[in-house]
Amino acid sequence: MYEFNIPTLEPSELKIPEEMDGLRELVYNLWWCWSPEAHLLFHRIDGPRWQHYRNPVELLLGLEPHRWEQLQSDPVFMGGLNDVVGQLRRYVQGDPPPWFRQAFPEFRDGPFAYFSTEFGWHESLGIYSGGLGILSGDHCKSASDLGLPFIGIGLMYRRGYFRQSIDLDGLQQHFYPDYDLSRLPLEPVAGADGLELRTAIDFPGREVQARVWRAQVGRSPVLLLDTDVPENRPEDRPITAMLYVRGREMRLCQEIVLGIGGARVLDALGIEPSVWHMNEGHSAFLGLERARRRVSRDGLSFLEALEDSRQDAVFTTHTPVPAGNESFQNNLIRKYFAGYAEQCGIDMDTVLATGRVNDDRPDDGFNLTALAIRSASAVNGVSALHGEVADGIWRHMGRDLPEDGRLVGSITNGVHTPTWIGPEIGALLQEHLGSDCLMNLLSPSFAQQVLAIPDEAIWSAHQEQKKRLIELTRDRLMEQFARHGRAPDELAAIQTHLSPDHLTLGFARRFATYKRAALIFRDVERLKRIVAGDDRPVQILFAGKAHPADRPGQDLIKEICLSTLSPDWKGRIHFIENYNMRIARFLVQGVDVWLNTPRRPQEASGTSGMKVSLNGGLNCSILDGWWCEGYDPAHGWAIGDDQNSGNQDEQDGKDADALYHVLEDMVVPAYYQEGGGLPTGWIARMKRHREVLRPHGPKIEPGDRVPRSPGVPFTRRCLPAFREQQVWYRCVPRSRPYSGWR
C-alpha cells in the first residue's frame, strides 16, 4: 500500500486543550464532510455558530474559554468525541481494509495524481463553481473510500468563486469572499528545511513562487498552490486569487501554475506518480513540464520526451462546448514559453504545434484540449453519448486509428453516495439493508431489499426531507425579500408558500445558456395551467449562478426571477439565491422530480439527477448526458426524442412542447393518481429508480486476478465494483506506440 509522506506545519492560531487533541485531527480532515456523526458533534459544540459558518476550524477559533471547560466536563460530549475520532482513525488506518488494499495487496507503485482546476468538497471551502468541481470533490472522496493511492493537485483561490445575491430588479450581483486561510481546514506543507514549502514556476523574466496547502480528504491528500506570498511581485500575488478569472492572460498564468507548478511540487516532495490524470484541459501544461524534465534529465529530444511522458498520463474531457476547451492567442504562448523552448532546445513553432487543433490552421491559437490529448495515452469523455460527440470533434488528432476506432472513449460520471444521500433516506436504508449498505451497493440482494421496504416508510422519509427543503426555501426567500424592502405582510405570506403535499420540481445548475433554464417559460399560459391549478398543484424551485462574464446567462436568471414575482403562480415558483453545495444537498434530497433541459448533445454528463435518484426522486430530462444510459420509462421521463433540428429556435420550441406534454400528461397525473391517499404507484417508481440507478459491474473480490489488458481502462477492469464515482486509470505498456501526435 502506498504511504504518503507530506509533512505539514501546525496551524498556529487554533489552540485545543490536550485532553481534546483528537478534535484537531477531526477538523483538519475533510472526512467530516460526509460524516453525520461529526456534524452532530460540531452542532453540540455551538449549534448557532456551526449553522452560520459550517466550518469547524472557524467554529473552534471563536470558542470562549468557559465553553472549552464545559465541553471537557461533559461526559456525553467527550464520549461522542472519542467515538467520532475513533471512527476517523480506523478509517484512515484502513480498518477494515479498503477495497483497493484487498484487491491489489501487492501494489507498490506511486500514487494516481489527479490535477483539477477546482474541487468541491464542502460549501465552507468555496474553490469550486459547478459540475467540474463537484465531480472532482466526489472523485477525491470516492478514491479515499476505495483506498486508492491517490493525490490531488489544484489551486488555492484566496477569494474563491463569487457569492450570489439577486437584487430587486432580478439582476445577479457578485460578491467575492476574502478567505483567511488560517481559518480554513487547510495545513501548510513543509519543505525539507522545516519551513513552508515553496515551488518556483518560470515566468517571463522572473520566477513566481507558490506556497502549498494540504487539504486532507479522508485518506486522500490534495495539494493546493497559492501565489499570494511575500516573495512574489505585487502583480503576481493575485494569480491564484479567484477561480475562473475573466482576464485571458491571468487565466493562462493560473493554468501554468496548476500544470507546471503542480508537477514541480510533486517532484519537490519526492512523489513519482504511477499515473498522471488531467481532469479537463486546464492542467495540460503539466505534459510540457514533464517533457522538459526528461529532456534535461535523460538527454531525450523534445518529441522523444513528450512521447515518453505521455505513456503514463490520461486525460478526461468534460464538455463539447467551445468555452470549456480553452484556447489562447499564439502571442501569449510565445511570451510565456520562449524560455521553455530554449531550455528544451526547440523553436517556438514546435511548442505551438503541441496545442494546435488543425495543422493547416496555425493561427487559430493554442488549445489546451489539444495539448492534453497529445500529452496523454488515453482520453475519455464522461458519458457514452459525450464520448461519441467528443470523438467526433477530436478524432482527427489520432493518427493510425482504424476506421472504426476511437480516439475518445467514455466512462460515465458518478457521485459520492454518502455526501448526497439525505439523513432520513440514509437511515432508512441502513435500517433495512444494514449499517454498511452504502459500501455494498453491488450486493445481489440489494434490489430485493430496496423493493421490500414498506411504502409508508419510504414516503415518510422522503416527505421529511421535502419539508426541510421547504423550510430552507422559505428562510432564504424571507432573507432575500426583506433585503428588497418588502412589507411585513408580504414577508409573512412567504410562510404560506410551498407545501410538502404539492408535487415539487427542481432545476438547479450553472446558468449557461445551453442548459436552457427558461425553457419551461416559453409558453407562459400553458405553464400557468400546469402550475397554478388548485386540484393538482405544482411548485418549481430554481437555483444557479451565471459566470460574471456570461451576460446571456445572467439575463436568464433575471427572466426567471422576475417571472416568479407574478401573482399568477400563487407563490409556487421561486428562485433560491447563492446556489452552493448546501443548497444543492437540500434540493436533491427533497424534490419529487428533477428537471434537466439542455440542448442535446451539449450536456456532457451531469450528475445532479443521480443525486436525486439516491434520495428517491425521479428524473425528467432531455435525452442527453448520463440520462441516455439511465432512462427507463418505469422510473423516469424523457423530454422529446434523440433527434436534433438544425434550427436552434425550432428545436427549443419542439423541446418546450415536449416538456409541457410530459408534465401535463405523465408526471402530474402520476403523482396525483391516488386521489389523496398514499401514492403507491409513485413510490414504486421511487424504489425502482433508487434500485436501478446504482453501481453496476462485476465485483472484484480479494485475491481476484485482474489482467492488465493493453488499452483497457483500469476501472473497466476493476473499479466497476464501486461506480458511485468513476475513478479510472489505464495500465498501458510503455511500449505502446503513440497515435495522437500531429
The cell for 174 is: 457578485
Proportion of the chain above pLDDT 90, given as a percent: 76
- The residues with which 24 forms a beta bridge, in sequence order, are none
Note the pLDDT tens digit of each residue in 393-442: 999 998 778 877 899 999 999 999 999 999 999 999 999 888 777 776 76
Domain ranges of the chain: 18-93, 107-410, 420-692
Q: Which residue has the cell 493511492?
A: 149
pLDDT tens column, 483-493: 999 999 999 99
pLDDT the model gives residue 89: 97
pLDDT exceeds cutoff 90 at 618: yes
Which pLDDT band, with edges at 50, 70 and 90, does 740 fall under?
very low
List of residues 6+ apart from 645 with CB closer than 8 A: 651, 654
CB 642 within 8 A of CB 623: yes
Q: Check: CB of residue 288 under 8 Å from CB of residue 371.
A: yes
Sheet of 538-543: strand order equals 573-576, 538-543, 503-508, 593-596, 618-622, 636-639
Its CATH class, for the domain covering 420-692, is: alpha beta
For 455-471, what is each residue's pLDDT tens digit? 999 999 999 999 999 99
Residue 699 pLDDT:
45
Task: Please report where in the chains the cell 446504482 appears, as a residue.
Answer: 694
pTM, two decimals, is 0.92
Tell me which amino acid residue 466 is.
K
The predicted-structure confidence for 220-237, as pLDDT tens digits, reads as follows 999 999 999 999 999 999
Residues 575 and 476 sit within 8 Å (Cβ to Cβ): no
**CA torsion sign, 599 to 601 to 603 to 607?**
positive
The whole-number pLDDT of residue 738 equals 28
Average pLDDT over residues 245-274: 96
> Which range is least confidently modeled, 343-347, 361-365, 588-592, 669-673?
361-365
C-alpha cell at 95: 480498518
Instruction: Using the predicted structure, report yes or no on whether residue 737 has a pLDDT greater than 70.
Output: no
Which pLDDT tens digit goes with each residue over 633-663?
888 999 998 888 778 899 999 999 999 999 9
Residue 356 has pLDDT above 60, yes or no: yes
> Cell 460549501 maps to which residue?
123
The predicted structure's pLDDT at residue 446: 78
In the predicted structure, residue 32 carries a pLDDT above the cut 70 = yes
Nearest Cα residue to 382 out of 168, 603, 151: 603
**695 close to 630: Cβ distance less than 8 angstroms:** no
Mean model confidence pLDDT for the chain: 89
Among 3.40.50.300, 3.40.50.10860, 3.30.450.20, 3.40.50.2000, name the CATH number for the domain at 107-410: 3.40.50.2000
229: phi then psi, degrees, rounded to nearest 5: -130, 155
What mean pLDDT is predicted for residues 93-104? 92
How far the first Cα of the chain sits from its last, in Å, is 38
* pLDDT for res 644: 81
Which residues on neighbouring strands pair with residue 199, listed in sequence order? Answer: 210
Which of 95-104, 275-284, 287-296 has the lowest average pLDDT?
95-104
Name the amino acid, one letter, at 538.
V
The answer to whether the beta carbons of residues 542 and 508 sit under 8 Å apart is yes
Long-range contacts of 74-83 (CB under 8 A, 24+ apart): 77/41, 77/44, 77/45, 78/19, 78/20, 80/37, 80/40, 80/41, 80/44, 81/20, 81/22, 81/23, 81/41, 82/22, 83/37
What is the Cα–Cα distance from 99 to 277, expressed in whole angstroms?
21
3-state SS, residue 603: coil
Q: Mind listing the pLDDT tens digit for each residue in 522-569?
A: 999 999 999 988 889 999 999 999 999 899 999 999 999 998 888 888
Contact 285, 310 (CB under 8 A): no
pLDDT for res 362: 84
Residue 148 has pLDDT above 70, yes or no: yes
Secondary structure letter of residue 442 according to DSSP: T
Fold agreement (107-410, 420-692): yes
Please state the rounded mean pLDDT for residues 55-75.
94
Residues linked to residue 622 through DSSP beta bridges, in sequence order = 639
H or E element at residue 67: helix 65-72
Q: Are 517 and 556 in contact (CB under 8 A)?
A: yes
**Residue matched to cell numbers 491571468:** 250
The per-residue pLDDT for 695 is 58
- Position 5 confidence tier, pLDDT thresholds 50, 70, 90: confident
DSSP H/E element including 48: helix 47-53
Answer whether 224's CB lies under 8 Å from 155's CB: yes
Using CA atoms, how far apart are residues 114 and 154, in angstroms rounded to an integer? 9
- Per DSSP, the three-state class of 141 is helix
Task: Give the model confidence (pLDDT) of 567-597 as tens digits.
Answer: 888 889 999 999 999 999 999 999 999 999 9
Residue 720, pLDDT above cutoff 80? no
| Bridge partners, residue 503, by sequence | 538
Q: What is the pLDDT of residue 714?
A: 34
3-state secondary structure 378-430: EEEECCHHHHHHHHHHHHHHCCCCCCCCCCEEECCCCCCHHHHCCHHHHHHHH
Measured distance CA(500)–CA(462) in Å, rounded: 10
Q: Is the pLDDT of residue 214 over 80?
A: yes
Cβ(260)–Cβ(287) below 8 Å: no
Between CA 111 and CA 8 the distance in angstroms is 19
* 681 pLDDT higher than 70: yes
Q: What pLDDT digit, counting tens, does each position of 180-206 carry?
A: 999 999 999 999 999 999 999 999 999
Q: Residue 698: what are its φ and ψ, rounded to 5°?
A: -70, 135
Place of cell 489482467: 707
SS3 113: strand
Residue 20 pLDDT > 60, yes or no? yes
Residue 710 has pLDDT above 80, yes or no: no
**Residue 316, all three cell numbers:** 478526461
Give the three-state DSSP class for 87.
Answer: helix
Report, as an integer, the average pLDDT of 612-619: 94
